[in-house]
Amino acid sequence: YVMYPQSIPPAYYKFILTTGPMHEEVLQAMRRAARKRPQDLPKLREAYVRLGGVANHGAFPLVHSTPAHLPCAILHPDRATCTDAAWRTYTAAFRTMLPAYALVHGLPMVARARFGRTV
């Protein structure tokens, strides 16, 4: 979905953007960097400031429009470190999925113990 978002249905891509930790501007920058195309620095700088990069990382980290790779401050400007970004994504996914997994795995065991026959 990063390199070819048109390969999946638009509704699914929108779902990924709304539930995932990456912003559209960051994904576009990743596509451009992977294809060795120059970055739109004013647009990327505006997104960096809007997403909280200055508060968490300080000054805009890109100097050249064709970096070999994007720094972590660009990938997750709203988080102070890569570990913090990964941990927050993991805990958010865990909190979201815990009720579903509890129902799918726990409810059958409780129902069998209470209403099921003994083997």
Whole-number Å distance between alpha carbons of 80 and 56: 5
Nearest to 71 by CA among 84, 63, 83, 62: 62
Average pLDDT over residues 63-92: 87
pLDDT at 21 over 60: yes
In this structure, are 17 and 71 located in the same domain? yes
Average pLDDT over residues 72-84: 88
In this structure, are 73 and 101 located in the same domain? no
Q: What is the phi-psi region of residue 19: left when phi exceeds 0, alpha when psi lies from -120 to 50, beta otherwise?
A: alpha
In this structure, are 62 and 114 located in the same domain? no
In this structure, are 74 and 17 located in the same domain? yes
Q: Which domain holds residue 61?
A: 1-80
- pLDDT band of 115, cuts 50, 70, 90: confident
In this structure, are 55 and 12 located in the same domain? yes
pTM for the structure as a whole: 0.68
Average pLDDT, the chain: 87
In this structure, are 70 and 92 located in the same domain? no
In this structure, are 52 and 108 located in the same domain? no
- pLDDT band of 11, cuts 50, 70, 90: very high
